[in-house]
Amino acid sequence: METLFTYRWLLGALSCLLLPLLGIVGTRWHWWPYTLGLVLLVAALGLAVLLLPLALWHRQWLAALPPLLLLMLVFPFVLRGLTLPAIHDISTDTRHPPPLTAAARLRSASDHSTDYEGEALARRQAATWPTLGPLLLPYPPEQVHRQALALIAKRGWALTADTTTDNERLLEAVVSSRLFGFRDDVAIRLTPVDTESGVYTGVHTRVDMRSASRVGKSDLGANAERIRAFLADLERH
């Protein structure tokens, strides 16, 4: 009887890890909608919250480890969800955000629209990330274009568009998250500017970037962090 009791503890503890693992694998391989993967994760969290204090009370130290590990891994994401606004579309230019032209063709009917939500979204972004803005580089667009392509390839993003007009260059790419495989769309716009006279000479390049999630109300800060990190690397190059 005692052995069976111990096995039940271990089975419950292992479920705290197996349920989210199943949700991640099934969502990433498109076995079911992402909402089911999140439901499995939430169920595992609920089980962990119930099981951890009981395991500690009964001194089942081995059974306490999996729920404790899960809670420690998920806590930073829960904290972000509670402290960050429910935003899934971030842009360095909130008046004229880079267009997600290729993304509009790739997204399904159940995904978010690629249309920018306007001033309300811009105000929420500015309140949380007030320093997020365009990057001005003292190089011609051709050079910045090559550097941006190299960084996209280095990050393993899937390039979906590379277009050039008289006044600007536009790159688009798809980014997949590491765990669930959620897809976000990125647009990078390169505009030639002359900071002194205002005449387009191609001496300097203004870099605007937009990153938008296809699903979910909140990106937990992922899009803003992606833009910040990319522009920082581009500036160093």
Between CA 209 and CA 189 the distance in angstroms is 6
Residue pLDDT, tens place only, 110-165 = 999 999 998 999 999 999 999 999 999 999 999 999 999 999 999 999 999 999 98
Residue pLDDT, tens place only, 65-92 = 999 999 999 999 889 888 899 999 999 9
Percent of the chain with pLDDT over 90: 70
Would you state the structure tokens that stand for residue 37, as one six-digit string? 């993967």
Going by C-beta distance under 8 Å and a sequence separation of 6 or more, which residues neighbour residue 165?
Answer: none
Percent of the chain with pLDDT over 70: 94
User: Hey, what CATH class is 89-236 in?
Assistant: alpha beta
Q: Residue ranges of the alpha helices (H) in the chain?
A: 2-28, 34-57, 61-83, 101-106, 119-128, 141-155, 222-236
Q: Per-residue confidence at 5, pLDDT binned at 50, 70, 90? A: very low
